[in-house]
Amino acid sequence: MDVTKIKNIDKITYRGEFDENTSPRKNLPEKASKMLPSIREAIIKSGLKDGMTISFHHHFRNGDYIVNMVLDEIAKLGIKDLTVAASSLTSCHAPMIEHIKNGVVTHIETSGMRGDLAEAVSRGLMDTPVVFRSHGGRADAIASGDIHIDVAFLGAPTCDIMGNANGYNRYEENATMCGSLGYAKVDAEYADCVVIITDHIVPYPNTPCGIPAVDVRYIVEVENIGDPNGIMSGATRYTKNPKELMIAKQTAEVIEHSGYFKDGFSMQMGSGGASLATARFLREKMEEQGIHCDFALGGITGQIAEMHEAGLIDKILDVQSFDLRAAESLKNNRFHAQIDGCFYAGYDFVGAAVNALDFVILSALEIDTDFNVNVLTGSDGVIRGAIGGHPDTADGAKMSVVVGPLTRGRIPTIVDHVQTVITPGVDVDVVVTDQGVAVNPRRPDLAEKLQEAGILLYSIEELKERAEKIVGKPDPIKYKDKVVGLALYRDNSIIDVIHEIDESDMSR
Amino acid sequence: MKIVKPASAGTLESSDIEIRIEPADEAGIEIHLTSSVMQQFGKKIEAVIKGTLEELGVESAYVDAVDKGALDCTVRARTAAAAHRAAEDSNYTWRVKA
C-alpha cells in the first residue's frame, strides 16, 4: 500500500479514543461560546496592542454607534497608535478627533469622511495623510494583505450565539435593519480576529447570513448598535426638485438611445435625487418597450427593489442597501443577493461584478473639462464626501453617465480643474446637466448615436463657459504644502493628493 | 445718497445675501463680509457691494454682509435695496444692468 500521495497522512492517523473533555462537540455551547459581556472584554481577549489595525464598516451610515463605543473603550485601556481602516466614516464620527489628539488613532484608511472630522483633517489634524480608497480598492487591499486587519469590530442588527450575523431581523418586526453587510463581509473573511457587536441575539441558525459564524471569534451584545433613523430611512424619497427631474429625464433619454438599453441589460444607479428619479423614467421606458434588466448592482434603493418585485429586474447584487425598502427586499427575495466588496468591485478579481455592467449613473461634486470627476473634496478644498464605488463602476461599466446640476448655488459643477481627481476622465463617457449634455470626445460612437436620436450635445468647454457666465469665475483655493490625504484609484495607485487648506486670508 | 439710519435687505436663505447698512463716522465704505463661498468669490462680492454703493453716490457707510452663495445680480439688488432704506430714499431708478 502506498500512502505517500496522501500528504497529511501523519496528521490523520488514528489517535485512539476521543477524550470527552477535549471534543468541542460535547461541550457546546459553554466551552465554544463566543459571547463576551462587554466591548472592553472583547478588546482584551482579541489581543489588541499598540500599533495594530482595527476595522469598521459603514452600513449604519450616520446612525453608527460602534466606532465611537469601541474607540472610547480602547482609549480607556490605554492602547495607542492604532490604524483605523473603516469602509467609510461620516459626520457621526466626530468624536474620533479626540482619539487622534490623544494618540489612540494615528492613521486612517477610509472611503470617505464628512463633518467635523473631515474639517479637522483638512486643517492638518493628522501627521500621516489619510488614505482614501474606493470600495473595490479597499476590498482588494484587505484581500491582498496591503491592509492587514488585526481586529474587526463589526456591528450587526442580528447575530446568533455561534456568530452568524445579519443586516436584518427575521424574528422581530420593525427591528433595526441595515440590509446588506457587503463591505463588512471582506473584513470578516480576512481579519485575524472578528468581533460582532449586536443588539439582537437571535436563535441559531440566523441564516441565510451576511457574515458566517466560521469567520467570527467573539460576540458582544450591547443596548444599541445605532440610531435607527440615522442607519436607514423608510424609503429614499422621490425628488420634487425641478432641476433634478430635468437631469433625470435627460439621463433616461441618453440611456435609451445609447445602444445599451436593450433586453437583458445591466445597470447601477446611485442614491442621489437625480439618479433615483432616473430609475423611475427608465422604468417607464422598460414597461413601454417590453425591455427587462438582467441585473442591478451596487448600492440598492427601494426603487430597484420594486422593479425586481415587478419582474423588470431579474437579479439584484447588493453590496449596500440604501433604504428600508431595499433591506426588506434583501431579506425576502431569493434573487436579491448579498455580495461582498471583492465580488462587487475588486480590481484584482477578474470576475468583479462592476466589469459586467452595461451602464452606471454617478453623481459628482465637480467635473472638469478633461472629464475628471471629484466626489471627495468640496469646491473650498475641504473633504466632504466619499470615493465609494465611483472609479470602480465608471471604469468597469461599458458606459458611465455622470449627472449633476450645472451650478449649485454659486458653485459651478463644471470647472477647469477639479480640486481632487477621483475618477479620471478616461473612465467618464457622458455628462448630463440640467443645461445640456456633453459626450467625452473619446466616445464618438456614443455622440453619434445620441445626435441621431435628436439629443442636443454641447462640448464640455461650452458647459463650463455657461456655468461661468451665471456664477462668475471662482478664485483658486489656497492650499498649504502639507498633504492631508491620498486619493487612490481602483487599482490602489495614488491618483491625487489632498493638501491642507490655507485660510490665512479668509479673515477680511 | 446719504446713509442716515441702519437698514437691511435680503435673507439668510441659500443663494441670497443679507445686507445691513449703517451710517459710518468716517468717509469711505467699510465692508464686513462672511460668505459660504469666501475663498472663491469673497473679493468679487465685496467689489460688487462697493461698486453698487458708489453708483448710488454713497460716500460713507458701514456694511455688514452675510452671503449664502448669491449671484452678482442678487448682491446688487440687495445692496441697492438696503441703501435706499438706510438713506430713507424711495427714488428708485429701475433699470436692467447689462
Q: For chain A, give the mean pLDDT.
A: 94
With beta carbons under 8 A apart, name residues in chain B contacting A478: 39
Mean pLDDT of A102-125: 98
Residue carrying C-alpha cell 461650452: A462
**What pairs with residue A82 in β-bridges?**
A105
Other beta carbons within 10 Å of A1: 2
Q: Which of A138, A142, A181 is nearest to A158 (CA)?
A: A181
CA nearest B16 in A: which residue? Answer: A409
Instruction: Report the percent of chain A where pLDDT is more than 90.
Output: 86
Fold of A242-478: Glutaconate Coenzyme A-transferase (3.40.1080)
Q: Which residues of B touch A471 (CB under 8 A)?
A: 41, 71
Q: Using CA coordinates, name the residue in chain B closest to A503.
A: B39
Which residues make beta-bridge pairs with A81? none
Interface residue ranges in chain A relative to chain B, Cβ cutoff 8 Å: 379-381, 409-411, 470-472, 474-475, 477-478, 503, 506, 508
CA neighbours closer than 13 Å in the CB half-sphere of residue A461: 1
Alpha-carbon distance values, B5 to A217, A312, A452 (Å): 72, 66, 63
A22, pLDDT greater than 60: no
Kindly determine whether residue B38 and residue A506, on different chains, have CB atoms separated by under 8 Å.
yes
Residue B74 to chain A, least CA–CA distance (Å): 11
- How confident is the model at residue A7, as a pLDDT? 85
Residue whose grid cell is 440566523: A206
Q: Output the pLDDT for position A506.
A: 67
Residue A504 is predicted with a pLDDT of 85
Q: What is the pLDDT of residues A67-88, one digit of tens each?
A: 999 999 999 999 999 999 999 9
Tens digits of per-residue pLDDT, A272-314? 788 888 999 999 999 999 999 999 999 999 999 999 999 999 9
For residue A389 the three cell numbers come to 464605488
pLDDT at residue A508, rounded to an integer? 46
What was the pLDDT predicted at A14?
77
| Cα distance between residue A316 and residue A263, in whole Å | 16
ipTM of predicted complex: 0.86
Task: Parse chain A into domains and list their residue ranges.
Answer: 32-231, 242-478
- pLDDT, one tens digit per residue, over A141-162 is 999 999 999 999 999 999 999 9
User: In B, residues 37-56, which contact A (CB 8 Å cutoff)?
Assistant: 37-44, 46
Q: SS3 letters for A32-74? A: CCCEECCHHHHHHHHCCCCCCEEEECCCCHHHECHHHHHHHHH
Q: pLDDT tier at B91 (50, 70, 90 boundaries)?
A: confident
Domains of chain B and CATH, by start: 7-86 (3.30.230)
> What is the three-state SS of chain B?
CCCCCCEEECCCCCCCEEEEEECCCCCEEEEEEEECCHHHHHHHHHHHHHHHHHHCCCCEEEEEEEECCCCHHHHHHHHHHHHHHHCCCCCCCCCCCC
Q: Is the pLDDT of residue A21 over 60?
A: no
pLDDT score of A197: 98
pLDDT, one tens digit per residue, over A237-269 is 778 889 999 999 999 999 999 999 999 999 999
Position A408, amino acid: R
Distances in whole angstroms, Cα of residue A432 to Cα of each of A135, A255, A328, A373? 24, 11, 32, 13
Q: Given a cut of 60, is residue A24 above it in pLDDT?
A: no
Q: Is residue A18 over pLDDT 60?
A: yes
Closest Cα to residue A210, out of A414, A41, A61, A59? A59
The span from the CA of A330 to the CA of A181, in Å, is 11
Instruction: Provide the pLDDT for residue A143.
Output: 96
CATH architecture of the region A32-231:
3-Layer(aba) Sandwich (3.40)
Give the Cα separation of A331 and A248 in Å (integer). Answer: 29
Tell me if A32-231 shares its fold with A242-478: yes
Residues in Cβ contact with A276 at an 8 Å cutoff, skipping those fewer than 6 apart: A236, A238, A239, A248, A269, A301, A303
pLDDT at B96 over 70: no
The distance in angstroms from the start CA to the end CA of chain A is 91
List chain B residues with CB under 8 Å of A470: 71
- Cβ–Cβ contact B84 with A under 8 A: no
User: Is pLDDT of A31 > 80?
Assistant: no
Q: Which residues contact A481 (CB under 8 A, 6 or more apart)?
A: A499, A500
| Residues paired with residue A150 on neighbouring β-strands, in sequence order | none
**Contact (Cβ atoms closer than 8 angstroms) between residue A367 and residue A345:** no
User: Which of the two residues, A231 and A337, has the higher pLDDT score?
Assistant: A337
The β-bridge partners of B67 are B17, B35
pLDDT (tens digit per residue) in B5-51: 999 999 999 999 999 999 999 999 999 999 999 999 999 999 999 99
User: Which residues of chain A have a CB within 8 Å of the CB of B15?
Assistant: 409-410
A135-141 mean pLDDT? 97
Helices (H), A123-226: 135-144, 182-190
Give me the residue from A411, A477, A506 closest to B69, CB to CB: A411
> For A363-390, how does the pLDDT look when each residue is reduced to its tens digit (9 = 90+)?
999 999 999 999 999 999 999 999 999 9
Cell of A79: 492602547
